[in-house]
Structure 1
Amino acid sequence: MTEPVPVIRKLEHALADDDFAWSLLLVGEDQTDKLATLTGDLRGPVSKTGDGKQITSGFSYWGIGPTIAWANATNDPFYLVMKAGTESFLRHWRKVSPHVAQGAFHLVSLGIGTGVKDRTILEDMRRNNPDMYYIPVDMSSEMLRMGTLEPVRGARFPMAQVLPVQLDFSIADNLAELSQLLTRLIGDEPLLYTLTGNTLANFENDQELLELITEVLRPQDRLLLEVASTTRLDAETARAAADEYHQTRAFAEFVTSALRYNTDLKIDNELVRFIGQVEDEDALLVKIIWQNTTEDDIRMGLPDHTEVLLPVGDTIRLYTTRKYSTARLKRLTEACDLTPVESIQSQFRHTRRPNPFGLELLLLAPESAGDVTKTLADDIWAQ
């Protein structure tokens, strides 16, 4: 009696010549648990500063409604920050890529976004490693389906070498399980983890997230980190950072979409506030909040069919982001025992006046990597 052929192996052959829009997905979490978490976050305490009820980072993109809203925002020609970021990434990557060109790396993309940046990376890396795997990881299965279209169809990356993973990578146990899965999948071959699109800045505790990622890096692995940067740290610049996000209606539609699709709250964009402030004297923090500035209390229906009272002045934090100074990046990487291998920074040039904002792309190695010296890191941070 012959051994049965595993369904995964048969499925690969079954899909090889099928032009239907199939997409494979490895689901790592119970989605009812995620809905319960979101519901609990929306029951937070009363706060007039956006520090009570909240939509935490991954939930901003969770579900088909927020995914479509994000796609619309990224395609909005008035969302200049997104446009400038996409254009600058290719220039930055060209300077970073030689450091991973010869290592036969596989790509693990944390937070897939639109997939445009993954496409750039995959087109380059696959020339040196045609057998490489592409593992995009995101909390939203809808984002994974949308985001993988660009690299798979646009870059013609083989679907048989793509493994989308639905997982909230901000949870320590989830990252540990992902790391074990990847080790079983590729053995000791090196991994390039990417956290692009200023995703790090969206988490309330950015250092904690970076520490979690560092813990799963092996000596041969690397982390590609892209963040928004600033050369000035003052109240006026913080307000300008908030205004960047306030300029496009499509972005406002995106940041309110999680509330729109998971509650019965009637969204009035006039109640959405964009607040910029200096954080810890080395970064600009932007909080986007919904605030009840009406004259009456509001009742909001939650996914479990219960209600929560929103008194006058109460807030719901919709989104958090940051712009980092060089000092903040140095503090974060040193705290996480990460050594810069390469760092490329450029300023935005879409305004007539000098602009303090830009993007920085860093290739980082764990401290356990023996071929990276502290002298290199010192040279980078001294620039």
Structure 2
Amino acid sequence: MNEPVNVIRNLEKALADDDFDWSLLLVGEDQTDKLAALTSDLRADHSETGDGKQISSGFSYLGIGPTIAWAHAVSDPFYLVMKAGAESFVRHWRKIRPHVAKNGFHFVSLGVGTGQKDRIILEDLRAAKPDLFYLPVDMSSEMLRLGTHEAVRGIRFPMSQVLSVQLDFSLADNMEQLAEMFARLVGDDPLLYTLTGNTLANFDSDEEALDTISSVLRPQDRLLLEVATTTRIDAEAMKAAADEYHQTRAFTEFVTSALRYNTDLTIDPAMVQFCGFIEDDDALLVKIMFQNSGPDDLMMGLPDHTEVALKPKDTIRLYTTRKFSAKRLDRLMAACELTLVENAHSQFRRTRKPTPFGLDLLLLAPKSATTGKRSVADEMWAR
């Protein structure tokens, strides 16, 4: 009797001549668990500073509505961080590329975004390794479809070498299981993990998020990290960092979209607050919050059909972001046992007034790899 053929083995042949717009998605989580977690976060205690109820990182992009809102926001020329990132990425990647382009890496994209940066990386990695796997990972299946299609569009990258994975990679157990699965998939071939778009800044704890990723890196693997940076930590820079996100209506529509699509709360843009803070004397923290500025309770219907009273001055934290100093980045690398392989840096030059803000693209290796020790501070201040 013939042995049954696994459906996965026949899938490539089945889709090869089909011009329908298929996407292959490996789902790693029960979506009801994610909805329950979001509901629980929206029931948290009263806080006037954005430290109670929240839309945590990842949930901001969950669902088709927030995905569309994100796509609109990133195309808005007034969203200055995203605009600067798109403009500088090719130049930054050109400096990083010699360290990875010829080493036969497979490509793991953590938080695929629009897919435009992935396309640039994918095209260069493919030149050295035509059989590489492209492995985008995101908590939002809608973001995966949007970003993956943009990444492969125009470069004729075969979908048979693409595996999208729906997973919350901020959870340590998830990341461990993901890395083990990828290791079985590629064997000893090196993996290039990427976390671009200043995504590290969106987590409650940037150190915990970076450690979760760095802990799964094998000696041959590398991590490409893109972050927004600042050369000053003071009250003026703190205010400027908050104002930067306040300038675009499209970004406000995005950060409120998860609340709009998962509750019945009426969103008044006047109740959206952009607040800057100095965090640990080495980073600028921006919290974007919805705050009940009226005199009465606001009743908010949750996904489980229960209601929560949002009392006067109570907040829902919608989004967190940061600008990192060189000192903060060096501290994070030391804590997560990462070494700097290469750093590409540029300052914002969009106004007549000097600005302390910029963007850095860092290529990092695990401490177990044989690389020389370098400092982000040295690299930034050398310019």
What TM-score do the two structures reach when normalised by structure 1?
Answer: 0.98
CA drift of 1:213 comes to: 0.7
3-state SS, counterpart of residue 154 of structure 1: coil
CA drift of 1:155 comes to: 2.4
Letter in 2 for 1:36: A
Question: CA RMSD of the aligned region, Å?
Answer: 1.2
| Aligned counterpart, 1:274 | 274
Pairing of 1:79-158 with structure 2 (within 5 A): 79-158=79-158
CA drift of 1:377 comes to: 7.4
Which runs of 5 or more structure 2 residues have no equivalent in the other structure? none
Which runs of 5 or more structure 1 residues have no equivalent in the other structure? none
Pairing of 1:1-383 with structure 2 (within 5 A): 1-370=1-370, 372-374=371-373, 380=379, 383=382
Distance of 1:107 and 1:77 partners within structure 2: 29
Q: Bigger CA drift: 307-316 or 345-354?
A: 345-354
Change (3 A) 1:256 1:378: closer
Distance of 2:321 and 2:373 partners within structure 1: 30
Distance of 1:314 and 1:156 partners within structure 2: 50
Cα deviation, 1:22-73, whole Å, max 9, x if unaligned, reads 1010000000000000000000000000000000000000111100000010
Change (3 A) 1:35 1:376: closer
CA drift of 1:81 comes to: 2.1
Q: Bigger CA drift: 1-10 or 70-79?
A: 1-10
CA drift of 1:78 comes to: 2.0
Change (3 A) 1:285 1:32: same
Contact kept? 2:326, 2:376, Cα under 8 Å = no
Letter in 1 for 2:290: W
Distance of 2:222 and 2:141 partners within structure 1: 25
Distance of 2:168 and 2:183 partners within structure 1: 19
Distance of 2:280 and 2:375 partners within structure 1: 27
Cα deviation, 1:67-122, whole Å, max 9, x if unaligned, reads 00000101112222211111101100000010012210000000000001100100
Contact kept? 1:175, 1:213, Cα under 8 Å = yes
Q: Bigger CA drift: 372-381 or 210-219?
A: 372-381
3-state SS, counterpart of residue 299 of structure 1: strand
3-state SS, counterpart of residue 300 of structure 1: strand
Letter in 2 for 1:358: G
What TM-score do the two structures reach when normalised by structure 2?
Answer: 0.98
CA drift of 1:244 comes to: 0.8
Contact kept? 1:340, 1:380, Cα under 8 Å = no
Contact kept? 2:345, 2:380, Cα under 8 Å = no
Percent identity (aligned) = 71
Cα deviation, 1:111-135, whole Å, max 9, x if unaligned, reads 0000011001001110000000000
Which consecutive aligned stretches of 4+ in structure 1 deviate over 6 angstroms post-superposition? none
3-state SS, counterpart of residue 193 of structure 1: strand
Letter in 1 for 2:20: F
Count of matched residue pairs: 382
Distance of 2:44 and 2:376 partners within structure 1: 42
CA drift of 1:380 comes to: 3.9
Contact kept? 1:341, 1:377, Cα under 8 Å = no
Contact kept? 2:340, 2:374, Cα under 8 Å = no
Change (3 A) 1:98 1:333: same
Distance of 2:338 and 2:123 partners within structure 1: 27
Letter in 1 for 2:259: L
